[in-house]
A and B are shown apart, each in its own frame.
Chain A
Amino acid sequence: MRCLVAALLGSLGLLLVQVQAAEAQHRVSGRVTSSAGEPLASVQVVVKGTTIGTLSDADGRYTLTARSAADTLVFSQVGYATQEVPIAGRAVVDAVLAPEAIELEEIVAIGYGEKRRVTLTESVGLVGEEEIRRVPVASPEVAIQGRVSGIQIQPESGVPGAPVAVRVRGVGTVGNTQPLFVIDGVPVGRGQNATSSPLATINPADIESISVLKDASAAAIYGVQAANGVVLIQTRRGRLGKPTIRYDGYVGVQNFPKRYEMLNSEQWFELAQESYDNFNRQFGYTPEDSEYRRLPDYLAANREALLSRNTDWHDVIAVENAPIMNHGLSVSGATDQVRYYVSGGLFQQDAIVRKWDLTRLSFRVNTDFRVTDRIRFGENFSISNQRVIRGQQNGFNGQLMPNALSLPPFFRYRDEDGSIPGNRYGYTGNQEFAAAGLTFGNEPALNQIVENIDRHTRVLGGLYGEVDLLPGLTLRSQGNIDYTATRDTRWNPSYTRDEIGLDRNDTNVEQRTDGYGLVWTNTLTYAGTFGSHNLNLVAGAEIQRSRWSGTQIEMTNFISTDPRFREVPAAGSDLLSPPAGWAGERAFVGFLGRASYNYAGRYLLTLSVRRDGASTFAPENRWGTFPAVSLGWRISEESFFDVPWISELKLRGSWGQLGNSTLPNDSYEYPHLFQVDITPDYGLNGETVVKAPAPRNFVNRDLVWETSETIDFGFESGLFDNAFTFAATYYRRDTKDFLVNLPLPKISGFPEGAPVNSGLVRNTGFEFEAGYNTVLPGRIGLSVTANLTTVKNRLVSLAEGIEEYAFVENQRTAVGYPIGYFYGYKTCGIYQTQAEADAAPLDMTLGGRKPQPGDVCFQDIHGRDKEGRLTNKPDGLITPDDRTYLGKSIPDYYYGLGVTATWGRFDLAALFTGVGGVQKYNQVRQRLESVVGGGANRLVAVLERWRPDRPSNRMPRATVDDPNDNDRFSDRWVEDADYFRLRNLQIGYTLPAGWLGTRETRVYLAATNLLTLTPYKGLDPEFTTSIDFVRSRNDRQIDAGRDTGNLPQPRIFQIGVSTTF
């Protein structure tokens, strides 16, 4: 890699430094007004190409001294179009600023360049800085939510810094579905790793814009990595004018939006007794039988005392008004030679349960230097440090919230003497129940005594140089490094069964990793205009190389319990297991080209192609070529077009191919090589440990990248001088040869299966975007934006001879269905009478048993014919064949609605988001709503359980052991999870300029997740499956939508200020 850096420095060495000479001076003054004739205060007036500048006063007047009478003045103000006026020898130069036309005049970042929005032929979604600043989030991709059509955003859970699932136009593959993220031109991966997502380290206040490349034409320039779309993040750079100091900050409090209600002690005992009675009655057991079930002696003897104890386990783990805050300070400015943006930020967010507290420090320097008229160079440089202190939540030991809620209400969190839970010298836990068979770990206490800290430092930055070789022809070379270092420690103090219900020694696991990605990009850009012909050409080459490694040691038996010994383990600490290490390497090489042509801004054409090689595949299968074309026709520019109220109308369409080289299982890089794992051990002489190296992977030399082919077409329009905008697009995305880990027959000897290319996934849908801007009577400015996206996801084919496969229990990916749909039994209420129960089909999954009155009725849907093939005829038996489609985790549609109103100095903004036609699997309810008494505590919903004297058609009878397997996966646990959410509401007030010497100050109050309308019974309908903190699942749809007890997105109230000097 050294050679790359050397080469980069070499090419920068070509850049020569030149200094410009000074000239004579000229004094000028004037007045700035709006197009409505009102004076404009705080307008920046700058002599073009210099640092000389001033601000207009409250009357719109200014005075400054330019270098010469031939200079040009630049007038700029947020919300107005910047205007350049040559002084031309005058002493008085007035300016009239027009309000900036919204949206349609925007410059949009596309891959390796930018375009004016009106000349776009590609499908690109854009989110601006104001929208990004509005939402209090740790990770900036969340800010896209609801702002742009075609993109669905779902945080994995409500824990601070949780990974975020980003889906562009449906779900294209059963493998990795995350888009490629590109920060300031540097591809930084897919953000699918919880602890090293490149995005979670960016201060959202540093972001100028986020562009989402949705169609093949926009994304093809990223080739083999772009099949799931590309998200471009541009950070802020200095703007011409006087230096600006800006502070943004807010503080807020967070709370659970909703909680689960559990049984109290008395209800627990009632449920237990009823469960035992029903069980004994069903099987005819009498107290003499050894199978007879009754309340354990201890509980029976101490019932009265226990009834007086009612621990609310939600209150034990929840943190009321958990703090969140953010502070960002930046200095930016620009002269003719230098543009700079320097910032620092501090973000802190505590979880709404005890322990999961995130702190992030970030710094950034972005500069651009103009060396001569023809030579420029600059840099992006950012460093961030993130620390998360966490406990059991989402950890290896399970889910804090559901585990805490399932503790019986008469268990104690602390001892009577209030001693600290887990203090081995004082705490006795709930040991008395152990002998009675109730052995629940006191997880809230464990949560307090373990200490897991994840530290993550990231440096992302590099240099670029640009030379204008000829007029219009620019050579750009950019080299970047993306370096991360993590240090994660997991400290578990010794605690014993007597204290806490588990047995464990002091342990500390120390894991350190580092990784870097190097990207070197060279592009040649030509822009030229020949009469009405406008041409923009880009050609380039890019090399990417990444390498990562890590080490882990697990220590135990520390010389002291003093925390300082965890940091630097003293001699005397044993290793729990031998040190582990790992490393990996990957490379991409790509050649890219793009031609954009337009004739008089009317007829638009973009052609692009990328040829990519990926080290992942065998040499003969490495290279792929991904072409794309898109066309646009701005009908409104035609002379024959004469509809006065249509100010803008463009038809556009595109076709193209994209690639994806991310294997379904990251750890099996190089599937074409026969690799040998050294993992298994064997003991010779019954004790000597010997390594028994075994083949690691099924070799598939034929593997290639997956290809997705997208077509889309639609129109964009602006009505009534663009006061109203509307756009609609149809898309179809076919992912072919997708990379899937195919289950092989076990007789192959490779039970993990094999990565193969197979099948076809089709996503189709429409995207609609609308906007409306107006000024209502009473000078109320109103702006409304709305978007809606529909998705129809179907697996068209899978591997030859295979119709479906189940990656996880209860979810399937099958031909004709959406990816990862829920698969289980359909229920038909509750058997109310003995006669009904007797008439029920025999349940072969229970060895041919019949249900009892009060048991759940499962539908007999399928049978098998003589050849053993599945039929749609019931066969009078309940077998696993009777499982069927129960719902899907990919929504039919999702939408966003933003409303902004201004009145004088007040502003109000609301963002609504919603999802429809989607289901989730509520595993928390399956676990806590099981009507099996005598053990874990249950939700109050079980109070509605069926009893002969109190029939219910919703909740089955109580019984221990669940002999009818009422709790099996069925439609009882699959719920509609549509929602309509007021995601963010803000009320702001802008103080007059000059207040305390400030240029502009806005204070605001905001609320997040204030209101959610949903039929979903869990705490939050918005989440993806979360397994644990270190294994993120945001990149996968095949097991998405399982509510395992993730924390809900908190409800946040915040107060904030942003001010500039």
Chain B
Amino acid sequence: MRRIARSIGVSVGCALLLAGCDDLLDTQPLGSLTEQTFYQTEKDFDAATLAPYSTLLNLTYDQFGRGWWNGFLQPDDDVQYRDPNGENDVFNWSPVDDDFAWVWENAYKGIMRANVVLDQLPKAKGFTDENNKPRYEGEAKFMRAYWYFLLARNWGNVPIITEVPRSVGATYVGNSQPGEVWDLIEADLEDAANKLPADYGSEKGRATKYSALALLGKVELYRAQWFNQPAKYQEAIQHFQQVLAGGFRLMDDYGDNFREATENNAESLFEIQATKGDNINAWGTTDTGGAAGHAWPIYVSPSCFYGTGGGCAPKAWGHGYGQIDITPGLQAEFEPGDPRKFYTMYSTGEDYGGVPYQINPITHQPELWSRTGSTPAKYNRPFDPNRYPENLSTNNLRIIRYADVLLMLAEAELLGNGNVARAAELVNQVRARARKTYEILHGTPAPADLLPDVPSTGAPLDWFRTHLMHERRVELALEGHRYDDLVRWHRAGLINIKTDIDFGTYPEANANWQEKHLLKPIPQGELDLNPNLQQNEGY
């Protein structure tokens, strides 16, 4: 009653030229939470810590490969853009490229979202137990480190922002000092490893202690090679060893790593969790209300090949845009009979949605769906002609898996300690699993000469190093590691990208490659807006 009386009093008083009008103007936003109403309880932070993870979905939502795939997958020697004009593919890298800018933008968006959690956590008053706070801090720091690592290995000394900017001036941050961002990443991951739980019970998908340790080891391996700091190999080994003690194992079937039914399995350390979300509209990012999945299958499934007068794959419209092809180099990289090839690519002649791959169902002419005779199958096998929505996949993208950890540990042991025996033992675990996969796939025992173990003694170090590179390439093909691997090996002097790597059927790719391509150009829009930011050398 008193409130009503007061309200009447204010209205009348205000209307008749008296005071108290500010009350009438104190309206609040409807339909959105504010700082005051959110970021208070454990439940709030359960939700809020997902925001930086959710940002991962922005990288891969687009069915034309915008962002991650066009900008970061294509420039390797495993795939090539179907159109010869693919600028990123042939190292015509430009500061005005949208794909680079998209990843840059979303990395910093993820960082901001992590920073918000770190900023609000100490202020939260609704926790039932203050001891519950560190875990949320660990999650936010893991994601912040993930994003900064992505930035550091692609753009070098990127600006560092560790607080939510509250003034326009605070957004004009310049390049960081050499090593500064790597220090931040390591510090965040060490802190995260200490604060994160080993698992979340039934709530899979959040970063665990082991996600943090595996990523930390990877960062240290990179640092050892990028900056020639051999001591970092030992730190990497130490952290990978902790992961090995965490109860992970390789799945018997290699294909389980790419099937929706076997997401978050015993081999998995961190995945992008894809789901329809509350909307099946896959045309926008989940930030804008779209679905919370990704668009890989439609991006890679073959479509029509325009050059030869038609000839389309089944369900070419809506299900496949055929944006990239597998290079002949990757096709040849697989050892004979390697079942991992089957899970990596579709190839000429096999059955595809009821017709032979590459055969035009209307003209029955052997016309091409792919310039190279092969398109990606990872995360997309079997081809599902009834997928709905056609442009959305809810299959998790695996970011760190145990096989990767084994191979990285092998690399650190080999290059850091020259320990061939240990490296061989680790690599052979991966090869043994591939043989098991053969048996599951074909229902027959693997032939004796299939993927034999590498010798644990006797092989020259050089040979072993080359083999390790080979093993990484086939085991982890199309999972987004390849160009990063090439860059760090080039920096460590193990290979020369320009001369040792064949980028495929577009010869200008090799011709165009220069040292500057070890880093990406900083988006021009950023340089235009931020007077304190300098472009990377060569752009």
Binding site for B on A (CB under 8 A): 3-4, 6-7, 289-298, 300, 434-437, 439, 497, 503, 520, 522, 539, 541-543, 545, 549, 576-578, 581-589, 591, 613-615, 619, 622, 669-670, 673-696, 698-701, 742-751, 754, 756, 799, 801-802, 847, 880
Contacts and interface: CB of A to CB of B under 8 A. Distances in A.
A615 B30 contact: no
A377 to B, nearest CB: 17
A589 B279 contact: no
A129 B109 CA distance: 55
A880 B275 CA distance: 40
B82 to A, nearest CB: 11
B33 A686 contact: no
Nearest to A622: B25
B529 A682 contact: no
19 contacts: A290-B307, A290-B308, A434-B317, A437-B310, A541-B15, A577-B281, A613-B21, A677-B32, A680-B50, A680-B286, A681-B286, A684-B50, A686-B264, A692-B47, A743-B529, A748-B165, A749-B111, A754-B168, A756-B168
A292 B306 CA distance: 9
B79 interface: no
Nearest to A580: B289
Contacts of B371: 290
Interface stretch (B5-13, B327-335, B454-462): B5-13
B279 A578 contact: yes
Interface in B269-312: 271, 273-281, 286-289, 291-292, 304-312
A503 B53 contact: no
Contact of B11 (A4, A744, A745): A4
A269 to B, nearest CB: 14
Contacts of B165: 698, 748-750
Contacts of B448: none
B128 interface: no
B301 to A, nearest CB: 15
Interface stretch (B203-211, B220-228, B415-423): B203-211
A101 B116 CA distance: 69
A619 B22 contact: yes
Given A3-B11, A437-B304, A748-B161, A693 B48 contact: yes
B502 interface: no
Contact of B108 (A290, A291, A748): A748
A799 B531 CA distance: 13
Contacts of A675: 29, 32-34
Nearest to B110: A749
A693 B286 contact: no
Contacts of B71: none
Interface in B67-104: 84-85, 87, 90, 92, 96, 101, 104
A685 B205 contact: yes
Contacts of A584: 29-31
B488 to A, nearest CB: 25
Given A520-B15, A613-B25, A585 B51 contact: no
Which residue, of A434, A615, A748, has the highest number of chain B Cβ atoms within 10 A?
A748
Given A297-B309, A619-B22, A693-B33, A543 B287 contact: no
B36 to A, nearest CB: 8
B83 to A, nearest CB: 9
B33 A522 contact: no
Contacts of B113: 694-695, 749
Contacts of B289: 679
B309 A294 contact: yes
Contact of B29 (A614, A669, A680): A669
Considering the complex of A and B, which 10 residue pairs feature the smallest CB-CB distances, nearest first?
A749-B112, A683-B275, A692-B50, A681-B277, A583-B30, A686-B263, A692-B54, A748-B171, A3-B8, A694-B51
A7 B51 contact: no
A293 B529 contact: no
B173 interface: yes
A993 B449 CA distance: 112
B27 A585 contact: yes
Nearest to B160: A747
Contact of A439 (B35, B317, B529): B317
Which residue, of B164, B170, B271, has the highest number of chain A Cβ atoms within 10 A?
B164
B406 interface: no
A587 B204 CA distance: 46
Interface string B245-285: 00000000000000010011000000101111111110000
A586 B278 contact: no
B26 A619 contact: yes
B30 A543 contact: no
Contact of B57 (A541, A585, A682): A682
Contact of A3 (B7, B38, B48, B281): B7
B41 interface: no
A771 to B, nearest CB: 42
Nearest to B531: A801
A695 B7 CA distance: 32
Contacts of A589: 14, 21, 24-25
Given A543-B14, A622-B25, A686-B273, A747 B526 contact: yes
A461 B371 CA distance: 69
Contacts of A435: 310-312, 360, 362-363
Nearest to B395: A686
B526 A742 contact: no
B133 to A, nearest CB: 18
B105 interface: yes
A543 B24 contact: yes
Given A622-B25, A689-B292, A748-B108, 13 more contacts: A292-B308, A294-B309, A542-B15, A549-B30, A578-B278, A585-B29, A613-B22, A676-B32, A679-B287, A683-B273, A685-B205, A689-B277, A847-B87
A11 B526 CA distance: 59
A682 B292 contact: yes
Contact of B25 (A300, A542, A615): A615
Interface in B128-148: none
B444 interface: no
A754 B166 CA distance: 10
B1 interface: no
A89 to B, nearest CB: 48
A695 B26 CA distance: 22
A682 B54 contact: yes
A746 B28 CA distance: 28
Contacts of A743: 525, 529
Contact of B50 (A295, A298, A591, A682): A682
B529 A577 contact: no
B203 A684 contact: yes
B274 A683 contact: yes
Contacts of A587: 24-25, 27
Contacts of B31: 581-584
Given A694-B51, A695-B116, A746-B523, A543 B278 contact: no
A746 B101 contact: yes
A673 B529 CA distance: 25
Contacts of A699: 166
A691 B47 contact: yes
A693 B529 contact: no
A436 B11 CA distance: 70
Nearest to A437: B310
A683 B292 contact: yes
Interface in B151-167: 158-159, 161, 164-166
Given A300-B309, A682-B57, A744-B171, A3 B4 contact: yes
Contacts of A673: 28-29, 34-35
Given A749-B109, A751-B105, A847 B202 contact: no
Given A577-B280, A744-B171, A746-B525, A682 B53 contact: yes
Contacts of A687: 275, 394
Contacts of A294: 308-309
B292 A680 contact: yes
B447 interface: no
A522 B18 CA distance: 12
Contact of B526 (A614, A619, A745): A745
